[in-house]
Structure 1
Amino acid sequence: METELERIAAKARCEPKLRFTSLAHHITRERVQRSLFRIPQRSAAGVDGQTVKAAKECFGEWIEPMLQSIHRQGYRAPAVRRVYIPKPGKTEKRPLGVPTVSDRALQRSTAEVLSAIYEEDFLPCSFGGRPQLSAHHALATLNEAIAGGLTGWVLEADLKNFLDPLS
């Protein structure tokens, strides 16, 4: 983590009641560009049809207007391209939203800044959506707890279509 984000994380850790009121100045040209270069080349294009390669090539054209709209609190995310992908072994299809490449880079940059703050609040047993932690880490931790006799029971819940009403 870079120094700027380390300072944010330290502040969040030392002052847990602190409310950060403005973080837009941490969304910089350099941060968005680094995020853009971490998007895999084969990633799908959004509604604008722009590929990752094309977004990198014309970065200078779209980054400044995007940053200006963010800093004046007027940014509106472009529409998301909706595709339906097959569920393995089923006839149902899963809806998938594909943001534009530029918006994906911005989302990653924003998540990086917010993670510096919220990582300080998570418990060691929290795994969902955290950097460098996956479902495999959660399963390994669960396996250790069960094998070590630290639990008397296990609850399994199937949340099939749980989020469907939201879409």
Structure 2
Amino acid sequence: LTNARDPRTGSAVTFDLDEVIKQQLEEWRPAYRSAGRAIVSSGKRHLQAVGTPGAVAQVLAALIENSLMHGGGTVALRTRVIGNQAVIEVTDEGPGVPTDLGARIFERTISGRNSTGIGLAVARDLAEADGGRLEMLQAQPPVFGLFLSRTPLKRGPLIGEDDDEERTVR
């Protein structure tokens, strides 16, 4: 959350997505096995992305945990490239996001059932902290996409430094 609140302290680096995905699969496979379900990955390999590897792992963990709690069947992590972005999609074979939650799924305190309703909101904050984004691409079956740049971020001067150029602060 600190990185999400203060972009000046972000620790974005270029890293190998395969390593983060592999770590998540190893971490979550026992829980899925216990539930009689599978977790798999497919898609483009050896993708380099820009971000904070720990934050990307946390975003993926939130999506994988939601699929375990609220989804069904096999959970799949798929990697692909769109333009200059690496995309990790997380999907499962469950019923998907209820229609009444829809676009509100990323709001704090919004929950499908028996959870805090903070996971996806924090995941989105973490994704955005290093210039990425997290979106629900499809509600049924559920498909969430984490979009990360494949080009290092160009960080301008910090607020307060000498800078004649006008900037928009978000």
Give the TM-score range, shorter chain.
under 0.3
Q: Which protein is richer in helix relative to its size?
A: 1
TM-score w.r.t. the length of structure 2 is 0.24
- TM-score normalised by length of structure 1: 0.24
Bigger proportion of residues as strand: 2
Bigger Cα Rg: 1
